[in-house]
Amino acid sequence: MPETLHASEVNSKTDPSVAKQYDNETPKDQQIQQFFEIADGLKICMLNTYRNGVGPVGRSMAVAKRNGPDFLFLANKDSTKFSDLDQNKEVQISFQDAKSSQNWISISGTATTTSNSDPRIKDVWSRATGAWFGDLGDGKHTGGPEDPRMTLIEVKSKYVTYYQTDVGLLGMAKEVIGAAATGGVANTGKIRELSEQDLEKSRSKQ
């Protein structure tokens, strides 16, 4: 149900929606596990780099593999995102389920790139990957795992915030309509934050 908003809860530094849905009660181990589950269920994200003279630049990417709180992507080394990363290693990843749950994830992290000799390329490559590279017909640039264009971007997460819904689409609509009618604040799920320390602890448990 929409929650009543009290004047004492609002000031210039308070977002009522965040304040009402912010979750600092669920144990961090459970928060981290649910972060993993949401990411694994979505798989497609926006990978945002920073380009000098332009600002943030995003593109859709499929996650090749999640390793704890960190993410691995297969990518074409000739793409402009690599020149972005040469200038600035800081990146942002975002997931959102806009069709059903409305769950979302935002990740801030640091990216490293590898050469085509990285053995993990063969582990995560699939035939579908080749569709994004094409076979140039020279016996070398085939779109296969040995293609010299084929390389990896690995993002080590430093900060994560995510939202997990507690209601379906109908329940969300009811919350929003009820809040608009009563002056309350819609309470549709939980907003959580995972710090660099939280994420490092999760790595140590792998």
Q: d(Cα 115, Cα 158) in Å, to the nearest integer? A: 24
Predicted local confidence at residue 1, as pLDDT: 47
pLDDT at 165: 87
Which pLDDT value is given to residue 205? 78
Q: Taking a C-beta distance cutoff of 8 angstroms, is the pair 31, 192 a contact?
A: yes
**Mean pLDDT of each 10-residue bin along the chain, 206 residues long:** 56 66 91 96 96 96 96 96 96 92 95 95 93 94 95 98 77 52 63 96 85
The pLDDT of residue 81 is 96
Domains observed in the chain:
24-167+191-204 (2.30.110.10)
Tally of CA atoms within 13 A in the half-sphere of 195 that contains its CB: 4
Task: Tokens for 62, please give them.
Answer: 């499929």
Burial class (CB in 10 A: 0-12, 13-18, 19+), 142: middle
What global pTM score does this model have? 0.85
Q: What pLDDT score was predicted for residue 104? A: 95
Backbone angles phi, psi at 75, to 5 degrees: -150, 160
